[in-house]
Amino acid sequence: MNGMNYFPNYYSIEDIFVTQEKVECRVNTKLQRMGFLDSGAESDDLEPGRTVNLPLWYIKELKVNNAYFTVAVPDIYRNVHKAVCEAETTHIELGRLHPYFYEFGRYLTPYDRNHVIGRIIFETLRQRVRHLLDISKSDGQAAKAEHRLDNIEAKLHEAGVRTNCQYIEWLQMTGNKIRTSELVEEHQKKRRRADRSDDEGDALPSSKRATL
């Protein structure tokens, strides 16, 4: 239940996944002895002008206008995909573009000079929420893979489907059956096993009576 009311904290697994994504950065100044960051580097130092792929958690701690790296905005938030997002908001398969489309965009927003990303994710989510409300009216068994939703949308969808199932169960009054608890079932199985081996075995009856 916590997944949907999503405010990323240090331990949140989705947040860890999102910040693990690699972003491409161009090095601006010469960084001494940081050559290990770039796997193809010849020297110990990072030369300006090279591009390295760094994880997001590394970059986000630096200031936006820092002198060392320039973050290149990934293609999924740029021209072609941006146009597709705006044209076909509900049919676009965000899950295929990037499983954490919204969160990744949120982290990248400060680095984007043209202010494109923030607006795209905001508008896309707004349009898609209406579509999401509609499709969560289904049972949940049919065709979930078709929709290819982003992680956040998938959680919202799951919540909607669960609500709907509860409502239908209530209407048909099938929901509230009292079930035997697991402990009781296990205990009954053990007793049945003990009784069976009692009948066929030569075991001393006293040893079987240890628990009752």
Partner 1 sequence: MDPAIIEFIGEKCMISIIPNFSNEPLHLIYGSVGPFRAGFPVFVPLWMATHLRKQQKCRIVPPEWMDMDILEEIKEEEKRSKFFTKMPCEHYMVVAQLVMSTAPDDVPRCEELRTVIKDIFDIRESKLRTSIDAFIKGEGTYAKLDNLTLLEIHSVRPILPYSLDHIARYQRTATASQRDTSMLSASMTGSSSGPNSNSLFSQ
CA distance 120 to 94: 12
Minimal distance, residue 68 CB to partner 1, in Å: 19
- Quickly list DSSP for 51-72: EEEEEHHHHTTS-TT-SSEEEE
Residue 15 CB, nearest distance to partner 1 (Å)? 13
Q: How far is the CB of 157 from partner 1 (least distance, A)?
A: 8
Closer to partner 1 by Cβ: residue 33 or 63? 63
CB of 162 to partner 1, least distance (A): 9
Q: Which is nearer to partner 1, 147 or 208 (CB)?
A: 147
Measured from the CB of residue 201, what is the shortest distance to partner 1 in angstroms? 47
Q: How far is CA 85 from CA 81, 92, 108, 147, 191, in A?
A: 6, 7, 17, 15, 62
Choice between 15 and 38, CB closer to partner 1: 15
Whose Cβ is closer to partner 1: residue 52's or residue 152's? 152
Interface residues toward partner 1, by CB under 8 A: 4-6, 64, 102, 105-106, 109-110, 112-113, 115, 118-119, 121-122, 125-126, 129-130, 132-134, 136, 152, 156, 159-160, 163-164, 166-167, 169-171, 173, 175-176
Amino acid at 46: L
Q: Between 69 and 101, whose beta carbon lies closer to partner 1? A: 101
Q: Which helix (H) or strand (E) holds 18?
A: helix 13-20
Q: What is the dihedral of CA 30, 31, 34, 39, to 10 degrees?
A: -30
Quick check: 109 and 163 in contact, CB under 8 A? no
Query: Smaller CB distance to partner 1: residue 37 or 116?
Result: 116
Cβ neighbors of 131 (< 8 A, separation 6 or more) are 89, 90
- In the complex, the smallest distance separating the C-beta of residue 112 from partner 1, rounded to whole angstroms, is 7
